[in-house]
Amino acid sequence: MPGEERAPAWEVAATDEELVARCRRGDGAAWELLLDRYHDAGSRHLERMFNGNWDLAADLMQEVWEDLVTELRRGEPRRFKALFWTVLKRRAIDELRRRGRRPPPASLDAPRGDDGEGDALLERIESDAATPEAEVLRLAEAQRLHQTLEQLPEHYRVTLVARDVEGRSNRETAQLLLERGLLEPEGDPEKKAENYYYRGLKAMRQLLQQR
C-alpha cells in the first residue's frame, strides 16, 4: 500500500487494528498512517464512481473520515479495512440516491460486508497506487505544470485551470471569463471559451515540449 513504504519499519508492521487502538488513545501519527493506507484508494474509487468529479469525491471522502472518527469513538472495530469500505459504500450510495441514480450492484463497486471478501476489489483499486518514487516524480511534474501555466496568457491560463484543474464545465468557464473581463460579451461566449480551451491546450503542450 502507498503509505506503508514511507513509514518507518516498525510502523509498517503495525496492523490496522493496532493503529486504531493508538488512534483511540489520541495518537495523531497512527491516524496519519491510516490515512496513508486508505485515503488515496478511497478517493480513486469515488472519483471513478462519480465520473471524475474529484471535488464531489473529496467532499464524500471527508464525510467518510468523519463517519470513521465517530465509529472509532464508539468502540474498536473488528476489522478496520472492512469498516472503511462499508462506510465509503454507504456514503457513495446515499449520494447516488440523492442524485436520482440507481446504485450499481455492490459486487461491482465495493467490497462486500465484514468478511473480507472485498479484498480482491481493494487490490485492484490499489494496483495503480503511487510508490514513494512516483510521488516524488508527481510533485516535480506538478511544479513543472505550474511553472508552464504561469507562462501562458491570462485568458488561456484561466480557461485551462477552470476546465481541467477545477473541473468546471465549458459554460461555467465562459461565465468566469466574462466576469474577469477576459471575454467580450458579444457573440457566443461558450464557443469562444471552447476556442480558448483548444488554443490554450495547444500552447501549453508546446511550452511543455520546450522545457
Partner 1 sequence: MRGNIEAVLAEAQARLMAGEAPAQVAAAYPEHAAELAALLGTAAQLQALGRSAARARSRQAAGIAYSRAFNAATVAELVRRERAESGLTPAEQARRSSISLESLSALEQEATPVAALDPAGIKRLAERVRAPFAALAKELKRLASLEALQGLGGAAPVFTRGPASAGAERQQLLDLVRQARRARPGGSDPPPAGP
Rounded to the nearest angstrom, the gap between the alpha carbon of residue 192 and the centroid of all alpha carbons in its chain is: 30
The type of residue at 211 is: R
Binding flag, residue 70, partner 1 (CB under 8 A): yes
Closer residue to partner 1 (CB): 178 or 207: 207
Among 23, 82, 83, 122, interactor with partner 1 by CB under 8 A: 23
Give yes or no for residue 55 binding partner 1 (CB under 8 A). Answer: yes
Sequential DSSP letters for 27-94: -HHHHHHHHHHHHHHHHHHHHHHTTT-HHHHHHHHHHHHHHHHHHHHH---S-HHHHHHHHHHHHHHH
Query: What does each C-alpha distance from 108 to 83, 175, 197, 201 come to in angstroms?
Result: 18, 38, 35, 35
Instruction: Answer whether 152's CB lies under 8 Å from 200's CB.
Output: yes
One of 4, 13, 15, 62 touching partner 1 (CB under 8 A): 62
Determine, following the binding rule CB under 8 A, whether residue 201 of this chain makes contact with partner 1. yes
Q: How far is the CB of 180 from partner 1 (least distance, A)?
A: 19
Which of 48, 101, 124, 180: binder of partner 1 (CB under 8 A)? Answer: 48
| In contact, 21 and 77? CB cutoff 8 Å | no
**Binding flags for partner 1, 117-156, as an x/- string (CB under 8 A):** ---------------------x--xx--xx----------
**Using the rule CB under 8 A, is 164 a contact of partner 1?**
yes
Residues 194/177, Cβ–Cβ less than 8 Å: no
Residues that bind partner 1 (CB under 8 A): 23-24, 26, 28-29, 31-32, 35, 39-40, 43, 47-48, 51-55, 57-59, 61-62, 65-66, 69-70, 72-73, 138, 141-142, 145-146, 160-161, 163-167, 170, 191, 194-195, 197-198, 201-202, 204-205, 208
